[in-house]
Amino acid sequence: MNIINQPQTVQELLQWAALFLGKEGQMEGELLLSKVSGYSRAKLWAYPEVELSESDRKFFTELVKLRHAGEPLQYLLGTQSFMGLDFLVNKNVLIPRSDTEVLVEETISLARKLQWPLRILDLCTGSGAIAISLAKYLLEAEVTAVDISREALQTAQANAELHNVDQRVKILQGDLFHPIGCDTFHIITSNPPYITTAEMVKLPDDVKKEPSLALWGGEDGLDFYRRIIKESRQYLKAPGWLLVEIGWLQGERVKELFEKNGFTECQIIKDWAGHDRVVTGRSSVL
């Protein structure tokens, strides 16, 4: 469609997006037009008759068409809110979900009961949302963030700088514990890949656009838990704590892995929907 034949005012563009995108079109159109124009959503509503430049209209229609084709909204916006903070996101990182806030909140609650100064390790850090949130809300904690993806860590570094915690968040590339050396930690956290092989093919189209490296957890979804739980004890101080996010049907199986590897005080923490979401356990002397 030629850009001349397309809507030109804020109101016309939003109406077109709502029709084109369907169910969530009104809200998503507002968010995308806000990104393109630099106007807040409130200002878009206050000045519906404003005409945007041809370049802005073209950019907006391109974004709407990408969203219609299944591109995640957060990738198009370039940001995602998590723990009250805005994080940069792109195709190289998993989009932070509100469910993962349960892991962060549980870690913060636990950390405040432990001896300081506190050292925390976050594995499979991706965008750095967990590690950076912990550094932001635990002001004296030293956090190490690890991921195997160099591209993901570039995003994590940018987020650490954005939130002014880059001096307290050490970012390392490698496979789980490999880059850690002899360091030990009071707390280890992780939101590892946990989607099963069967579930991968059934994921919504927009989720399939996220990096499979951050999603697939092996045939039964437990591959990373087996490694993290088994290996973590040598990197935990005594006592130390391990907290992992889980798929909502994995609670009992992951808790059993904790117990088989010598963890005590193991718990399954539910999310706000009442689903199993986090497993925690305490490690004592090896």
CB 134 within 8 A of CB 104: yes
Task: Using the predicted structure, report yes or no on whether residue 1 has a pLDDT greater than 80.
Answer: no
- The arithmetic mean of pLDDT across residues 54-73, rounded, is 95
- Beta-carbon contacts of 75 under 8 Å, excluding residues fewer than 6 positions away, are 89, 90, 91, 95, 209
Q: What is the mean pLDDT of the chain?
A: 94
DSSP string, 191-256: ----B-HHHHTTS-HHHHTS-GGGTB--TTS-HHHHHHHHHHGGGEEEEEEEEEE--TT-HHHHHH
Place of tokens 């001349």: 4
In CATH terms, 3-69 corresponds, of 1.10.10, 1.10.8, 1.10.390, 1.20.140, to 1.10.8
What is this structure's pTM? 0.92
The CATH code for residues 80-283 is: 3.40.50.150
pLDDT of residue 5: 60
Confidence band of 7 (pLDDT split at 50, 70, 90): confident
Averaged pLDDT, 183-208: 95
Confidence of residue 276 (pLDDT cuts 50, 70, 90): very high
Query: Per-residue b/e over 276-285, b at no fewer than 16 CB within 10 Å?
Result: bbbbbbbbee
Residue 2 has pLDDT above 70, yes or no: no
**So where are the chain's domains?**
3-69, 80-283
Query: Over 70: is that where the pLDDT of 269 sits?
Result: yes
Burial label for 89, CB within 10 Å (0-12, 13-18, 19+), is buried
Q: What is the pLDDT of residues 124-183, one digit of tens each?
A: 999 999 999 999 999 989 999 999 999 999 999 999 999 999 999 999 999 999 999 999
- Residues 9-38: tens digit of each pLDDT: 999 999 999 999 988 889 999 999 999 999
The pLDDT value recorded for residue 286 is: 54
